[in-house]
Amino acid sequence: MSAMEASPAAWGSLNSGVVLSLIAVLCSMVWKNLEGMFFGRHFNRQARRLAAIVDPYLSVTVAEYDGGRMKQSDAYKEVQAYLQRASCDAGGGVRHLKAEPAKGADALVLSMGDNEEVADVFRGVNISWLAYSKPPPENGGYWGGRHGRANRRFYRLFFLERDRDLVLGEYLPYVRREGRAVMVKNRRRKLFTNLSADDDRMWSHVAFEHPKTFETLAMKAAKKKEIMDDLDTFRNGKEYYARVGKPWKRGYLLYGPPGTGKSTMIAAMANYLDYDIYDIELTSVRTNSDLRKIFIETTSKSIIVIEDIDCSLDLTGKRKKKKKAKDADAAKDGDKKDGDQEEEDKKKEGSKVTLSGVLNFIDGLWSACGGERIIVFTTNHVDKLDPALIRRGRMDKHIEMSYCCFEAFKFLAKIYLGVESHHLFDDVESLLAEVEITPADVSEYLTPKSDGDNADTCLGDLVKELKRMKAEKAQAAQLRGKEVEADDDEE
């Protein structure tokens, strides 16, 4: 039977078959277009809504702060890092990028701006990411107050329902893994400082580029090795700390006179471990709870530093009383404080951080959040510190940074002048046994000041200075002896 002879019923069924096929082809064309619009380079939200009629899409939101806005979520940071790569890819379709300095002199890390979308393809499946932010809730959420005023930031991932298992089971873990890898690659060490109590952000940072390493730090070789071994043990101690049930953190107390290398040691530690530094200015922290908040915002693999802890705050009632008495004496003498001192005192008055707040920060329940953190306190006056603050367990390792010994001098002479022996070394050795000079001062004498300066002139100047110090010391001792004699005579 030819087609011409086909029965009306056959014609009818043939026609409806063709119509159905045509509709199917049309639907598939429309869908392909919508899908292309949705996920392709020029997708938009309207297209996504239309596409949802044909095949529903699902979304997953990754918030910058989990629930109570306590700490930037790891997932958010990983997604952000992953999307940096996708954003730079021309196929991603991002038109507005944010740029931040990256590792390397001229490098920039680019990421998507607010309300930008980026397309991604995983095993042939189309996925779309949107970056957006929202104003905070009226009451500021958990943190309330000034920290609650910042916008909440989010990434939202869109995908088709049919791809649910692949996206949730494989794509998202893949994004986190890749994001972590990007973070490691782009990681520039940072030096953070806490901002004034009135600032919405808790920390601001610059790239940490201190050149000091243990290779250029002058101290007795055995002591240096002991510190480096201690740091290695800490860094590799994840399992140990978990086994003995201790938070993975360690406290170091660096004490010694000004110029003996305490700050320099912190830089060397950070360079050795490849950690960030959080330098806490305690006088800018208003309350104990603010101290806890800034602590929670620190990341692992970091050194948290409080320099000159004895000067930062009046940490005990006892010392407050002492200070009041001292101020009263000064007022009696008509002694005027200079502007800096007044400012410092005003700051201290504005801060209500207490000893117990600092102890809590070091080893309270909150201190266990995050892990792999070193806390360093420095002081010129270890005897002034409250024993509770520096007991082992809080400040686990006490390191005395001392005046320059002959071994440290030889080390500095090699670094600064490139000499390992010299006829003046014997003089320096015997003089260093008698007078106290800081490595900072020795370094200064060993630094050539003009083209004509060399090892002879620099070492000659150092010997001259050491002799002068020795004579001064002898004179002072003589004077003291005479005073004692006079006192004895009076008695």
Interface residues with ligand ATP (CB under 6 A) are 217-219, 258-264, 380, 401, 439-440, 443
Q: Which of 263, 312, 351, 402 binds Mg ion (CB under 5 A)?
A: 263
Contacts (Cβ under 8 Å, ≥6 apart) of 71: 65, 296, 297, 369, 370
Q: Which does 190 bind (CB under 5 to 8 A by kind): Mg ion, ligand ATP, none?
A: none
Name the one range near Mg ion by CB under 5 A: 70-78, 102-110, 261-269, 388-396: 261-269
Closer Cβ to ligand ATP, 87 or 438, answer by number = 438
Cα 96 to its chain centre, rounded Å, is: 28
Q: Pairing state of beta strands 203-207 and 190-194?
A: antiparallel
**CB of 412: closest distance to ligand ATP in angstroms?**
6
- Using a CB cutoff of 8 Å and minimum separation of 24, what contacts does 164-172 make? 164/58, 166/122, 166/123, 166/125, 167/58, 167/60, 167/122, 167/125, 167/127, 168/60, 170/122, 170/123, 171/122, 171/125, 171/127, 172/60
Stretch that binds Mg ion, among 63-71, 106-114, 256-264, 428-436 (CB under 5 A): 256-264
Tell me whether residue 217 or residue 291 sits nearer to ligand ATP (CB atom): 217
Name the minimum Å distance from CB 453 to ligand ATP. Answer: 18
If the CB atoms of residues 92 and 259 are measured against Mg ion, the closer one turns out to be 259
Choose the one of ligand ATP, Mg ion, none that binds residue 380, judging by a C-beta under 5 to 8 angstroms depending on kind: ligand ATP
Query: Which of Mg ion, ligand ATP, none does residue 260 bind (CB under 5 to 8 Å by kind)?
Result: ligand ATP
Binds 191: which of ligand ATP, Mg ion, none (CB < 5-8 Å by kind)? none
Task: Specify whether the CB–CB gap between 349 and 284 falls below 8 A.
Answer: no
432 binds, among Mg ion, ligand ATP, none (CB under 5 to 8 A by kind): none
Which phi and psi (to 5°) does residue 273 adopt?
A: -85, -15
Cα 443 to Cα 177: distance, rounded to the nearest angstrom: 46
Residue nearer to ligand ATP on the CB measure, 129 or 278: 278
User: Minimum distance between the CB of residue 174 and Mg ion, rounded to whole angstroms?
Assistant: 45
Choose between 376 and 424: whose C-beta lies nearer to Mg ion.
Answer: 376
Give the residue at shortest CB distance from ligand ATP: 261
CB 111 within 8 A of CB 97: yes
Separation between Cα atoms, residue 97 and residue 374, nearest integer Å: 35
- Residue 278's Cβ-side half-sphere holds a number of Cα atoms within 13 Å equal to 21
Shortest CB 259 distance to ligand ATP, Å:
5
Tell me the closest approach of the beta carbon of residue 150 to Mg ion, in angstroms.
Answer: 33
Contact assessment for residue 138 and residue 145, using Cβ atoms and an 8 Å cutoff: no
Nearest approach, Cβ of 440 to ligand ATP (angstroms)? 3
Residues making contact with Mg ion (CB under 5 A): 262-263
